[in-house]
Structure 1
């Protein structure tokens, strides 16, 4: 049974897993007591992806550079397949994320994955973003123009 209605969409859940720090994800995974019995279909393997950019968001696209990415795919004994990509060389993070993706597709584990892993990660990411916004706001400079009394 597919569980797109359990909290986040699959895309959003994978985005949370990809943005999470590896150490935090691994700690939450160990504490979750979720089954870790998945067959590795691919990887985890590390490679490069090409990055493209645009000047000002509207210019012609150009090759900006490359980024290191690690991917993994796993299959549960019940047939669900999970996939994950993560920036960097964190092989265990990619494997755990793929396993979480597969477990989340099972009705019996979807709520547990949401409660024990995804919800704490979303809270942490929101707090981090709010802290960054506050730091940026503290350095904001307001410019104004004074008008001389002459016409």
Structure 2
């Protein structure tokens, strides 16, 4: 999407990242900053809505479990996170990363956490597209000559 703000982009990357990938890259950020909870991680559900063909009338597709939290770093930056599933730890780390991306450490967090996660997501998306393209069937009609 070209109309995303930078924050929407990094929050999307953090929310979609597999927890194992976030766990693997997290130590690269060094010591975790001090923070206070504004909203401790809590698990709930949201209604997922869809549209037939992307343009039809909206309909309720079903519910999805999410975990959300908000925190404030000791330096004043506020971070929020909404992640799919029940992982309070993933939500906490995503909120810390969101807050750090608004701090003087933004370039470091981008290089060590957000960019590698985004690259992995792009590779996974490309691999899915390649697998789907391999199953593509081109149908054509030959003119038989008998009108």
Distance 2:54 2:9 in 1: 24
Residues 1:82 and 2:79 are matched in the alignment = yes
Q: TM-score, normalized by length of structure 1?
A: 0.89
Distance 1:104 1:57 in 2: 32
Distance 1:14 1:24 in 2: 15
Contact map agreement 2:79 2:99 (CA 8 A) in 1: yes
Aligned to 1:3: none
Aligned to 1:106: 103
Q: TM-score, normalized by length of structure 2?
A: 0.91
Residues 1:37 and 2:43 are matched in the alignment = no
Q: In terms of mean alpha carbon deviation, does 50-59 or 136-145 score higher?
A: 50-59
Aligned residues: 143
The higher relative CO (CA closer than 8 Å, separation ≥ 6) is in 1
Change in CA separation of 1:34 and 1:147 when aligned onto 2, cut-off 3 Å: farther
Aligned to 1:120: 116
Distance 1:79 1:36 in 2: 11
Change in CA separation of 1:34 and 1:120 when aligned onto 2, cut-off 3 Å: farther
Q: Point out 4+ residue stretches in structure 1 off by more than 6 angstroms.
A: none
2:51 to 51, 54, 68: 54
Distance 1:104 1:58 in 2: 34
Distance 2:7 2:66 in 1: 20
Mind listing any 5+ residue stretches in structure 2 that lack a counterpart? none
Mind listing any 5+ residue stretches in structure 1 that lack a counterpart? 1-7
